[in-house]
Amino acid sequence: MRLASPHATFESSLLITALGLCLSGCVGAIVALPEKTTLRTDEYKALSARSLTPAITRTAQSAPTREWCGITVWALIIPVPLKLPVCSSYSEQSFGNDESGNEIVLLYSKQTVTAPFHACGPLMMLGPIVHGYQGNALCGVFPD
């Protein structure tokens, strides 16, 4: 039975440490999911300020665009996509009437597929260098 020399143990631990430092974000995922945002127009806000409840009479939607959504897992620099073209992106306007009965735009809505990058690794403490990073020293989310 042969025991490893202290010199060989030091070299292997140095190699493992160097490898760990090189793989700073070695495990991560890009998550693409639809996100809908709605903005109220100034006319909507003006009606609300006068204690009038804005009523939506009709909605016009753009032609939806099919988008890929799901998750892509990054493991040791190799992407493994798990996505399907089942989501859609579109924009729409919601119309209503003002006090005079004229048709006005009350709401603008937009649905898009966002893809933030979620990652974990030994050097994620450097994540705050990137603008918009949310997380801690071990795991976090980078903006798309």
Averaged pLDDT, 76-97: 84
pTM: 0.61
pLDDT of residue 109: 96
The first and second tokens of residue 132, run together, are 């918009």
Q: How many CB atoms lie within 10 A of CB 1?
A: 2
pLDDT of residue 17: 64
pLDDT single digits (tens) 20-45: 555 545 567 788 889 999 999 999 99
pLDDT of residue 23: 53
Position 6 pLDDT exceeds 70 = no
Give domain limits for the chain. 6-142
Position 13 pLDDT exceeds 90 = no
Distance CA 138, CA 126 (A): 10
Question: Residue 18: pLDDT band by 50, 70, 90 thresholds?
Answer: low
Distance CA 17, CA 4 (A): 19
Contact 31, 126 (CB under 8 A): no
pLDDT of residue 5: 53
Tell me, what amino acid is at 52?
L
pLDDT single digits (tens) 47-58: 888 888 888 999
Question: Residue 85: pLDDT band by 50, 70, 90 thresholds?
Answer: confident
Beta strands of the chain (E only): which ranges? Answer: 27-40, 56-61, 65-75, 78-97, 103-114, 117-120, 134-135, 139-142
In angstroms, the first-to-last Cα distance of the chain is 55
The first and second tokens of residue 135, run together, are 């997380």
Q: Which residue bears the tokens 């890929």?
A: 68
Contact 127, 104 (CB under 8 A): no
Determine the 3-state secondary structure of 120 from DSSP. Answer: strand
pLDDT of residue 29: 79
